[in-house]
Every structure is written in structure tokens, then in C-alpha cells.
Amino acid sequence: MKFHKLGRTGQDVSVICLGTMTFGEQNTQTEGFEQMDYALEQGINFFDTAELYSVPPRAETTGSTERIIGEWFKARGTRSKVILASKVAGPTPFTFLRGNNEPVHLNRAQMTQALEGSLRRLQTDHIDLYQIHWPERPMTWGSNPTAFQPHPEDETTSIVEQIEVLDGFVKAGKVRWIGLSNESAWGTMRFLAASDTLGLARMQSIQNAYSLVNRTFETALAEIAMREQVGLLAYSPLAQGYLTGKYRNGALPAGSRKALFNRLQRYEKPGADIAIDAYVALAQEYGLDPAQMALAFVNTRPFLTANIIGATTMAQLKTAIGSINVTISTDLEARIGAIHQLHMNPAP
């Protein structure tokens, strides 16, 4: 396994991070245990979850992923071996999320309730990296759209207030470090400015979508990630499975997320299928597994801290982790760049 520093913390985290959002929905507790056991054996020390998981969000399964991880910590005695990341949800109509039937916001009371719930389910006294899952302010999902869409300004908890609450968690020892997710360049810099001005805890990472068909992170956030040491935790590096090629030509494999939930429209926008076909064909030309080529591309970006992989089978997990040993040659990098130039960011 390879390792990168997490922001300015000095902490080494594995380049491959185990994503767990399928635990409690597509994966049973037993299967989740098997995935976590294998990941740890392969040198992965970084796991990511959220209060919202499993996915898709449902009242019946909310928090189940954290509960499964907590049971694994208890059964295996592995808490000290894992850098654990979780997330607090931003505004959402899921009034069931925190059990009070109220609209979700990032105010002090609700963030405190969310953290205490996560700690209880995870059976731990602290979370290593606590992230804001998405912003309080209204904005286009994904944070880096290819076309700007103005949004009405609603009353929200200010960035300063959010930082003050998170800083309090750090000072109380319940959180070691903090991070962002689904955030824009403007938002990231505002958080950093507030921390620097007020001497409060600083964002150490940003978890955004990033893949061969969504490289919008590069347009502004990549420079911030490198110069400010707020590295990318890339999610959906396989475009939720599309870059494996399994959905090509209208295929719908039984048991796949698309077949089960029909919620992958982010990767079905005009032109996405053409780009995906081109990347899959390129991998095959080079004798590579399309999934491993797509993951290796993400693994090797200079602004990356970790690549969050997820799997529903052990075979998928082994393929994904094996991508750490795949090299993106200079020639292959150029070929990928040529496809990107022709089919730029079709799935932001």
C-alpha cells in the first residue's frame, strides 16, 4: 500500500480508502466485516462513512453503516488501527435522519446531536476526520458544475458558526481533524480564511466526486488542494460503476446499484456514454482492466490524498485495491488526456 499525508496533520493515510456506504443495504454485517478485515490486511488504514449511510437513504437503514463498523471495532479490537472518517449531513428533506422529525441544518444543536449519534453507533470516543457532508448554503450538487446556476439565498448557519462548532468538537477531544465534502473553491477558501483569521481548527481535506468522466475538481480546487494542503478524497472514482463497462450498451446486471435503485442519473448525461466507451476501449487496448485503469488514474493525481473505493463483492474489492499496483505510463496519460479533450466532464 502507498500512503499520503492527510492535510497538515502529519498523519499518513492509505491512498486507497475503504468506502462503506453499502454496509447495511447491499452488504450484510458479515460481508462488511469481511471487507474491513481484508482491507486492513492489505494495508488500508483509512475508512470513510457518514451518519446518512447506508445508501440510498431510508429511515429503516440510516446509521446502519456506522453501527456495523462499530460492531467490527468491538469484535476485532481494531479501532486503533483505523483512521476513521465520518460526515455530518447538511440541509436535507430527510427529517428522519436525526430522529426529531425536523429539517436538517448545520447549526450547533443539530451538529452536536449528529456527532454524539455517530460516536454511539461507532462505539468510539472520537472520530479522526469529521467532515461536512455538503454545504449549508443552497448550491448545485457536486459543487463544481460545468454551467453556473444561480440559487436563491436562504437563511443558513454561517461558515464562521460551523467552524466554531467543529473547533469545539476538536477541543473536546471528540474529533481530531475536520474536513469538507461536496464543496466549491469559494466555500473551501472561506472556511480556510475563517480558520486562519480566528485561530480555529482548519479543514484538512475535501471529499468530492472525481473520475475520468468528472474532472471538474481540476479547474479550481486542485490548486487549492496542493497549495493549501487540503487534499482530495475522491469519491465515485468509477462513476458509480459505469467506468467498469458493466452498463455499456444498456446492460443492467442483476444486483447492480442501477438495477436495484435506479439513481445513477449523474452518470447518464448526454455524451457520458461516448466518453465511457472510449475509456473502456483504451483500457482494453493497453491490456488493463477498465476499472483498474480508471482507479489508477485517480490514485496518481498530485492533488489526491486518498481514493475512496467501494464494493459489494470481494472480487470487486480485490480488483479495486489492486489498482494501487497499476502504472499510468506517459503514453497512456497522453491518450487519456486526448479523450478528455474531446469528451470533457460529461458527468459533473
- pLDDT tens digits in sequence order for the chain, 348 residues long: 999 999 999 999 999 999 999 999 999 999 999 999 999 999 999 999 999 999 999 999 999 999 999 999 999 999 999 999 999 999 988 888 887 788 899 999 999 999 999 999 999 999 999 999 999 988 777 667 777 777 777 668 999 999 999 999 999 999 999 999 999 999 999 999 999 999 999 999 999 999 999 999 999 999 999 999 999 999 999 999 999 999 888 888 888 888 888 777 888 889 999 999 999 999 999 999 999 999 999 999 999 999 999 999 999 999 999 999 999 999 999 999 999 999 999 999
Catalytic residues: 53
User: Could you tell me the residue ranges of all domains in the chain?
Assistant: 3-241+301-327
Considering the entire predicted model, what is its pTM?
0.96
Does the 3-241+301-327 domain belong in CATH 3.40.630.30? Answer: no
Q: Is the link from the previous residue into 143 a cis peptide, with omega within 30 of 0?
A: no
